[in-house]
Chain A
Amino acid sequence: MSVEFSEKALEQLRELLGHYPDRQAAVIPALHLAQEEFGYITQEVEDYVAKLLEIPATDVHQVFTFYTMFRDRPVGKYHIKVCESVACHIMGSTNVLDYLRKKLGIDVGQTTPDGRFTLTTVECLGACEMAPMMQVNDDFYGPLDEKKLDEILESLE
C-alpha cells in the first residue's frame, strides 16, 4: 500500500506545525492523524511521519511505542475499552469484562471474526462516577450491568 496523507490531513498537519516552535512537537498530533487516515500505524507509516516532520524515524518510533492509544494492527468497527481501575473494579468491572467475553465470544485483545468488535481493557478513563464503565470508539457508557450491555451492543449495528 502506498502510504500518503490525504490533502485534508496534510492541511491539518501544516496547521498543527504552526502551533509549536519546533517540528518534533507535532509527532503525537501527526500520529493521531495517521491513525485516523490509515487505521493503524505500520513501520511504513512511522517512516512517512518522520519524513513529513523532517525528524529521525527512531524519534517517531519511541513515541509510537510509549503511548497506549497508538496501535500497530487494525481494530474492529467498534473498539470496546473496559476500564479496570480501582473505582470501576470495586463496582464490578470484572463482571462486565466476563460478560462481554462470553457474549462476544472473544478474549481481551481480540476482534470478533466479523470484524465488528474489538475488546480491550484500559486504565481509569476519568469517568469513575459512571463505574463500572467502558468506552466504545469516542463515547463513554456506564454504569454498566448485563441489561445495559445488551442494550448498548444492540444499538451498535
Chain B
Amino acid sequence: MPQVKVLTEFFDVPDSHKIDVWEKHGGYQAIRKVLKSMTPDEVIEEVKRSKLRGLGGAGFPTGVKWGFVPKDSEKPKYLVVNADEGEPGTFKDRHVIMNIPHSLLEGMMIASYAIGAHVAYIYIRGEYVHPARRLEEAIAEAKAKGYLGKGIFGTDYDLEVYIHRGAGAYICGEETALLNSLEGKKGWPRLKPPFPATVGAFQSPTVVNNVETLSYVPHIIARGADWFASLSEGTERCGGTRIFSVSGHVKRPGVYEAPLHTTLREIVYDFAGGIRGDKKLKAVIPGGSSCPVLKADEIDVRMCFDDLAKAGTMAGSGGVIVMDEDTCMFDTLRNIIHFYAHESCGQCTPCRQGTGWLVRIFDRIAEGRGMPGDVDNILEIAQNIMGRTICPLGDAAAMPVISFVTKFREEFEYHVREGRCDLEDRKQRVAMAS
C-alpha cells in the first residue's frame, strides 16, 4: 500500500516553510486563479465536489459549511482557524504548520474570499510557541509581498490574518468554546443553535475550520475537485487524503498521509512498521482518545468517516493510538477518564458529575477497593452522560468508557474482583512455566 501525499510531499522539501520555496513549488497560484477567475459560489461548489471533510474531529463537509454563511448579512464575516490541537493522540496540525504554513495561509485566503471575510484569526494553543512563531514569520513574508493586507495580489480584496494564542484549555478546541475564548472570555461552549455560520465570533457569521482542512484547499483549486475526490477510491462521501497521527506501541510513530480507503491495518503495519518488539497487537483507538476503541481483530476497516462509523467508532481527528498485548485496559481507560474529568468545563451536570464519579470509582478500584457491581455502575454512569450535554465533550468522555469496558469486560471485572492487574499475574504465570 503506497502512501499518497498531497500535503506531506512538501515536508521533505528543504525550507518548505519559506515563501520563496513554496512559490517555486506552485504556491500562491490557486489564490491568484480564484481572485482572477472564480466567484465565491464557484469556489464553494468546487470544494463541495472535492468531498473534503472537516479534519478537526466532526468530519462535516467543508464546502457545505461555507455555504451556510449568509450572503446578505450586514455584519462582518470571520474565518477562524482551529489550531488548538488538544485531542490526545493528535499532532498533525503541528507538522502542517511547521512544514507548510503557506499552504494554510493560502487556504485561508481562498476560504475567506469564498465566505466574504476580510479578517481571519488563527486560534493556536498557547503551548505551541514555535509553531506560532513560524506562522508569524509566514504572515510577515506574505504581507511583504502584498499577499495579505489591503488589496491583496493587486486586486481590491482586503484580508488581514491575526494569530490568537490560547492559554491551556482542551475545551477551547470545541468550536464555540474557541469563539468565546477568542472574544476574551472563559472557554465555555455555547448552546447550538445558533450555529457559528450565523452567530459566531463577535456576534457575526463565522466559519471555524481545522488547520489541515484548510491546507488542502489550494491543492483542490489548483488540481481540481475531481482529482482530489478520486484520491479516495470507493468512498462515497469523502475524498482526498488525510494525515494520520500514529502514536503508542508502534515501531515508527509519526505522521502518515493516506487516502481514506486505507485500512487501519495498513496504517499500523505498513506505515508505522507494526508493533514494537514484534509483540501482538491488542487494541487501537482510531481517531483520538475520545473515539471508541477497536480490538486487534477489528482493524481491517477503511479509515473513511462512514466505514469507521459503521464499525462503531469514529474517524475523529485521525489520531491513531496503538496498544500492544502488554497494555492494561483498566489503567489506560483510567488515564483517559482522568483527562476528560480534568477538562470538563463544568457547565453541564451530567458531564461534570459523571466524569467526577467515574474518576472516583476508577481510583478506588486502582487502590484495590473494587466493589461488586462496579463495572455495571461505570457503564450506567457513562450511558447517562451520552447525549445530555451542551457540547460533545460529555460524549467524548463516555464513548471510550463504554467501548473499553464492553470489549474488555473480563479485564475490568478482574481488577474489581482481585484488586490488581491480571497482566501482572499472567507475566508471573509465564515466568513460572518457563
Pairs across A and B, CB under 8 Å, 19 listed: A19-B162, A20-B184, A20-B202, A25-B202, A29-B165, A32-B167, A63-B184, A66-B169, A67-B168, A70-B168, A91-B247, A123-B86, A124-B89, A126-B90, A128-B88, A129-B253, A129-B255, A131-B247, A131-B253
Contact indicator B93/A90 (Cβ below 8 Å): no
Residues of B within 8 A of A70 (CB): 167-168
Contact indicator A87/B248 (Cβ below 8 Å): yes
Neighbour of B248 across the interface among A22, A68, A91, A122, CB < 8 A:
A91
Neighbour of B187 across the interface among A66, A84, A85, CB < 8 A:
A66
Contact indicator B186/A85 (Cβ below 8 Å): no
Neighbour of B183 across the interface among A25, A89, A126, CB < 8 A:
A25
Residues of B within 8 A of A20 (CB): 184, 202
Instruction: Indicate whether A28 reaches chain B with its CB closer than 8 angstroms.
Output: yes
Instruction: Indicate whether B166 reaches chain A with its CB closer than 8 angstroms.
Output: yes
| Interface set of A (CB-CB < 8 Å, partner B) | 19-22, 24-29, 31-32, 59, 62-63, 66-70, 84-87, 89-91, 122-131, 135, 138-139
Contact indicator B169/A68 (Cβ below 8 Å): yes
Select from chain B the residue with minimum beta-carbon distance to A67. Answer: B167
Instruction: Indicate whether B4 reaches chain A with its CB closer than 8 angstroms.
Output: no
4 tightest Cβ-Cβ pairs between the two chains A and B: A67-B167, A68-B168, A69-B168, A128-B247
Contact indicator B185/A128 (Cβ below 8 Å): no
Known: A66-B187, A68-B167. A28 touches B339 (CB 8 A): no
Known contacts A69-B168, A90-B327; 16 further A-B pairs (Cβ under 8 A): A19-B160, A26-B184, A63-B185, A68-B168, A70-B167, A85-B335, A86-B321, A86-B332, A90-B321, A124-B89, A124-B90, A124-B170, A126-B85, A127-B94, A129-B255, A138-B130
The CB with the most chain B CB atoms within 10 A, among A19, A22, A32, is that of: A19
Q: How far is the CA of A130 from the CA of B335 in the complex (A)?
A: 18
Chain B's interface: helix, strand, loop or mixed, by majority? mixed
Known: A19-B162, A24-B183, A66-B186. A128 touches B168 (CB 8 A): no
Instruction: Indicate whether B91 reaches chain A with its CB closer than 8 angstroms.
Output: yes
Residues of A within 8 A of B162 (CB): 19
Contact indicator B165/A32 (Cβ below 8 Å): yes
Neighbour of A28 across the interface among B164, B202, B289, B327, CB < 8 A:
B164
Contact indicator A87/B247 (Cβ below 8 Å): yes
Instruction: Indicate whether B368 reaches chain A with its CB closer than 8 angstroms.
Output: no
Neighbour of A138 across the interface among B94, B129, B202, CB < 8 A:
B129
Q: How far is the CA of A119 from the CA of B170 in the complex (A)?
A: 21
Select from chain A the residue with minimum beta-carbon distance to B328. Answer: A90
Select from chain A the residue with minimum beta-carbon distance to B187. Answer: A66
Neighbour of A86 across the interface among B164, B166, B336, CB < 8 A:
B336
Residues of A within 8 A of B121 (CB): 19
Q: How far is the CA of A24 from the CA of B201 in the complex (A)?
A: 13
Contact indicator B127/A126 (Cβ below 8 Å): yes
Q: Which of B235-290 contact A (CB under 8 A)?
A: 245-249, 253-255, 285, 289
Contact indicator A24/B343 (Cβ below 8 Å): no
Select from chain A the residue with minimum beta-carbon distance to B78. Answer: A21
Contact indicator B289/A86 (Cβ below 8 Å): yes
Q: How far is the CA of A89 from the CA of B88 in the complex (A)?
A: 11
Residues of B within 8 A of A19 (CB): 121, 160, 162, 164
Neighbour of B125 across the interface among A86, A126, A130, CB < 8 A:
A126
Contact indicator B184/A124 (Cβ below 8 Å): no
Instruction: Indicate whether B358 reaches chain A with its CB closer than 8 angstroms.
Output: no
Contact indicator A90/B339 (Cβ below 8 Å): no
Q: Which of B183-217 contact A (CB under 8 A)?
A: 183-187, 202
Q: How far is the CB of A12 from the nearest CB of chain B, in Å?
A: 12
Contact indicator B126/A32 (Cβ below 8 Å): yes
Q: Which of B75-118 contact A (CB under 8 A)?
A: 76, 85-91, 93-94
Residues of A within 8 A of B255 (CB): 129
Residues of B within 8 A of A87 (CB): 88-89, 247-248, 321
Q: How far is the CA of A31 from the CA of B126 in the complex (A)?
A: 12
Contact indicator B169/A67 (Cβ below 8 Å): yes
Neighbour of B167 across the interface among A22, A28, A62, A123, CB < 8 A:
A28
The CB with the most chain A CB atoms within 10 A, among B183, B247, B255, is that of: B247
Residues of A within 8 A of B153 (CB): none
Neighbour of B184 across the interface among A27, A32, A84, A130, CB < 8 A:
A27
Contact indicator B166/A90 (Cβ below 8 Å): no
Q: How far is the CA of A29 from the CA of B246 in the complex (A)?
A: 32
Known: A69-B127, A91-B248. A86 touches B185 (CB 8 A): no
Q: How far is the CA of A151 from the CA of B360 in the complex (A)?
A: 38
Known: A19-B162, A68-B169, A84-B335. A124 touches B86 (CB 8 A): yes
Contact indicator A126/B342 (Cβ below 8 Å): no
Contact indicator B184/A90 (Cβ below 8 Å): no
The CB with the most chain A CB atoms within 10 A, among B76, B85, B168, is that of: B168
Residues of B within 8 A of A67 (CB): 126, 166-169, 187
The CB with the most chain A CB atoms within 10 A, among B187, B246, B335, B339, is that of: B335
Q: How far is the CA of A24 from the CA of B186 in the complex (A)?
A: 11
